[in-house]
Amino acid sequence: MAIEVGSKIQGKVTGITKFGAFVEVEPGKTGLVHISEVADKYVENISDFLSVGDEVTVKVMKVEDDGKIGLSIRKAQDRPQEERPKSSGSGRPKSGGERPRGGSKPPQQRPASFEDKMSSFMKDSEERLATIRKHTEKRGKKSRK
């Protein structure tokens, strides 16, 4: 069986490192599941999720010219559409999603966008820097006297 990008295949974990797991997908053909492709949540220690000898289903993400095979366990899992992480950054549910009765959410209850978070961070940062500058100037004046 040829290993093709996008195909889901069974494999056996043959080795574990701090950055991922090696999975034998065919006799003599081994690919790497990077630690970020093991689960949908943060994986600090891959051994908490996999052990040598485990049978896993993997999705072939890439096959390089030099024979290296990139694999993913998390993308090989079949999940209903509503359980998949959102890929759009709009923060709005896709059509058919549940909306609260009585219209849309008030702005203060809506999750903050990246831009909103960044703006808040910059404002806090500027306030902290201003406070530090103020205290530094006071110290400088005292030491000159």
135 falls within a domain: yes
Q: Are residues 73 and 12 in the same domain?
A: yes
Cα distances (angstroms) measured from residue 59 to each of 9, 39, 40, 50, 132? 6, 13, 14, 16, 52
Judge whether residue 119 has pLDDT over 90.
no
**Averaged over 42-56, what is the pLDDT?**
91
Please indicate, yes or no, whether residues 123 and 61 belong to a single structural domain of this protein.
Answer: no
Give the whole-angstrom CA distance, residue 49 versus residue 130: 46
22-55 in b/e burial notation, b at 16+ Cβ within 10 A? bbebeeeebbbbbbebbeeeebeebeebbeeeee
pLDDT band at 141 (very low <50, low <70, confident <90, very high): low
Predicted local distance difference test score (pLDDT) of residue 33: 93
pLDDT digits (tens, 9 = 90+) for 62-102: 999 888 999 999 998 876 655 555 544 444 444 444 444 54
Note whether residue 131 is domain-resident: yes
Does the predicted model carry a pTM greater than 0.85? no
* pLDDT value at residue 86: 53
In a domain, 29, yes or no: yes
Number of domains in the chain: 2
pLDDT digits (tens, 9 = 90+) for 10-30: 999 999 999 999 999 988 899
For the ranges 44-53, 86-95, 123-132, the lowest mean pLDDT is seen at 86-95
Of 82, 71, 85, 62, which Cα lies nearest the Cα of 35?
A: 71
Q: Write down the pLDDT at residue 2.
A: 72
pLDDT of residue 135: 80
The answer to the question of residue 85 being in a domain is no
> What is the rounded average pLDDT of the residues 111-118?
79
Say if 104 falls within a structural domain: no
**Which domain does 19 fall in, by range?**
8-78
Is 92 a domain residue? no
